[in-house]
Amino acid sequence: MIVITGAAGFIGSCLIARLNEYGITRIVLVDDFTKPVKGHNLVDKKYLMKIERSEFVQWLKEKGSDVDFIFHLGARTDTTEFDKSIFDELNLNYSKDVWRWSTHHKIPLVYASSAATYGLGEHGYKDDHRVIEKLVPLNPYGDSKNDFDKWAINQHLTPPFWAGLKFFNVYGPNEYHKERMASVILHAFRQIIKTGEMKLFRSHNPKYGNGEQMRDFVYVKDVVNICYFLMKEKPQNGIYNLGSGKARTFKDLVSATFKAMNREYEVSFVDTPEDIRDKYQYFTEATMNKLIAAGYTDGFYSLEKGVEDYVKNYLLENKYY
């Protein structure tokens, strides 16, 4: 039996789809199921049962001996939320409880960390445990993820296998519900449909031109492939980057979106909102050597191929994965 927390969300629901493709249906879904909009992500998925997030730790305490693997992907992910207590409750302390009961029942565990832990990249983007203590995230969300990473690598009592995945800029199907926190591709698609153009943030950093800000964009199908790989192979315990390993500009991203939609490229620029301007990452790029050294050999979608698949097979058809 496999447990997925955050199962009705973006990455969680895509992981269910991928496991179903491998014939795996004994899956326990954990989430806050009071939000109907996320229910669309679970249509036609095959699973065993649903458990409310608030009831899961008690359930795990009692039923953990029946669980073979846990993907702990559920979290508060709003980078514009600045109430630290919310992140302490949902991202830090809740994750500690999941870890402790996974350890008690000897359940392998993969959990979601984030590239937000790297802050402005002062210490690079290498998933080296020696760097984690030095990182300075830019918001409480990043702090909560880094706080748990720091806690995890210092535990003497651990699950039999564990991995923390630092997700970079993940995009792809099943993110329709994410509103402001959705990928730039989804925002671009909706803007282009509505206005015929896309507005990007103007650069406020002299090192980068408008639209030349660079991020490591990784397709969600690669993300769930790697999750499956970790479940099957269980390499060395630790923190792993999960990006494409290649930074690309927002201009590249939007150009690929226009092309996939068969539309003419039309971009204008607006000022970055002041509430996030001093916390804006101008460059991220995952160092992927550690995961590749662990044996992952399936490669990654290029930005162009990932955007094409997302737009043509999901967005234009209003379909889910």
Query: Tens digit of pLDDT for each residue in 283-292?
Result: 999 999 999 9
pLDDT at 88: 62
- How far apart are alpha carbons 1 and 107 in whole angstroms? 11
Which residues are registered as beta bridge partners of 312? none
- pTM across the whole model: 0.94
Sorted by where each begins, the domain ranges of the chain are: 2-170+217-245+285-300
* Fold observed for domain 2-170+217-245+285-300: Rossmann fold (3.40.50)
- How far apart are alpha carbons 217 and 69 in whole angstroms? 27
pLDDT reading at 280 higher than 70:
yes
The confidence band for 318, taking pLDDT boundaries of 50, 70 and 90, is: very high
* β-strands 169-171, 248-249 pairing: unpaired
Query: Tens digit of pLDDT for each residue in 163-222?
Result: 999 999 999 999 999 888 899 999 999 999 999 999 999 999 999 999 999 999 999 999
The confidence band for 75, taking pLDDT boundaries of 50, 70 and 90, is: confident
pLDDT at 111: 97
The confidence band for 303, taking pLDDT boundaries of 50, 70 and 90, is: very high
**E strand or H helix that includes residue 146:** helix 140-153
- How far apart are alpha carbons 42 and 275 in whole angstroms? 34
Find the mean pLDDT for residues 232-242: 98
Query: Tens digit of pLDDT for each residue in 79-103?
Result: 555 666 676 677 788 999 999 999 9
Give the whole-number percent of the chain exceeding pLDDT 70.
96
pLDDT at 142: 87
Query: Tens digit of pLDDT for each residue in 249-276?
Result: 999 999 999 999 999 999 999 999 888 8
* 104 vs 93, more confident: 104
pLDDT at 250: 97
Contact 186, 131 (CB under 8 A): no
pLDDT at 24: 98
DSSP 15-34: HHHHHHHTT---EEEEE-TT
Contact 293, 222 (CB under 8 A): no
Helix axes 220-233, 10-21, angle to 10 degrees: 60
**Catalytic residue numbers, as ranges:** 141, 178
Unique residue bearing structure tokens 């002062």: 122
pLDDT reading at 11 higher than 90:
yes
- Average pLDDT, whole number, for the chain? 94
Which residues are registered as beta bridge partners of 314? none
- How far apart are alpha carbons 3 and 27 in whole angstroms? 6
Find the mean pLDDT for residues 5-22: 97
